[in-house]
A = this chain, B = another copy of it.
């Protein structure tokens, strides 16, 4: 049997006509099959197959007002910590029947605002953003669109968007406490760009604000293994002999470790090294890397649930602060 308009995709009406039922019935077969008499249903399903009918998602979204899509704005996927967050966000959202659109911002608020606009344009029902540093255009957009939005990787209960994250300052403090308690007094702090990343800023600020008799020197580099490698040059050419190096992320710390080893500088004998975030790799380097664990898995899942609840019930979630925990390993030791 041939279709009469061979080039066009079949729609509900075509199926209804072919099965000799109303469009309402076809719609029911699709959405609430149990409400349709078995014979009728069979007949409709048969025609659906024959006509290769695929319901139009756009029409459906239009009719129901739901796209089942939410967006996530993250700085990059090229850092394992965000990739892991996303993996868990996606899993959590999928369970709730929501699809995840990923947009990378490179930690640039302007790009972020643009991509956020795109997310609104495609009809995202909610959004996950990273941190609490956003520009005016972004804030305005959210305000207009009135979307459920949660901010992750940061905790600030007073922020106008619910934050579901952890205390970056606390994370840095735990690290410093660990280093100071084990007798380190000359500490190099290596971190990524401060300008756009509030995570980095919080960590570095917290370190600077601590009352300690340790001598602190701050070095700035890229957030990448290579960034860590390069930072070692800076650190070694400083007029100080450091007994510890604290990196604002494990990614940098990994690079530092590799470069120190390459230069035959022993960790932790010559210098203690620690990172923040606790990536999976940190458990396996030689020496294993002391770090402070950021609860990315929980964070991804809880953000997914909170956002899904918000979208479904309209009730705005409370901010959540997940605990960070020191993971003392071999790369630091008593001085």
The chain A residues found within 8 Å of chain B, CB to CB, are 9, 52, 54, 56-59, 61-62, 65-69, 71, 76-78, 80, 83-84, 86-87, 90-91, 94, 97, 99-104, 115, 118-124, 144-146, 224-226, 229, 254-255, 258-259, 261-262, 280-281, 283-286
Contacts and interface: CB of A to CB of B under 8 A. Distances in A.
Contact of A58 (B58, B77, B104): B58
A77 B86 contact: yes
Contacts of A261: 286
Contact of A90 (B104, B146, B259): B104
A278 to B, nearest CB: 13
A225 B254 CA distance: 14
B286 A122 contact: no
Most chain B beta-carbon neighbours within 10 Å: one of A71, A99, A258: A99
Q: Which 5 residue pairs spanning A and B have beta carbons closest together?
A: A57-B123, A62-B62, A83-B83, A77-B87, A58-B61
8 contacts: A57-B67, A58-B67, A77-B83, A77-B84, A87-B104, A99-B118, A100-B102, A226-B284
What's the number of copies of this chain in the assembled complex? 2
B87 A115 contact: no
B59 A225 contact: no
B67 A78 contact: no
A102 B102 CA distance: 7
Contacts of A254: 281
B99 A57 contact: no
Contact of A54 (B80, B84, B97, B120): B120
A99 B104 contact: no
B87 A78 contact: yes
B225 A281 contact: yes
B87 A57 contact: no
Contacts of A77: 77, 83-84, 86-87, 90
Contact of A122 (B84, B99, B226): B99
Most chain B beta-carbon neighbours within 10 Å: one of A56, A76, A83, A90: A83
Given A100-B102, A262-B286, A280-B224, A122 B76 contact: no
A111 to B, nearest CB: 9
A258 B286 contact: yes
A101 B65 contact: no
A58 B262 CA distance: 56
Contacts of A59: 62
Given A67-B58, A69-B69, A284-B258, A52 B102 contact: no
Contact of A102 (B68, B90, B122): B90
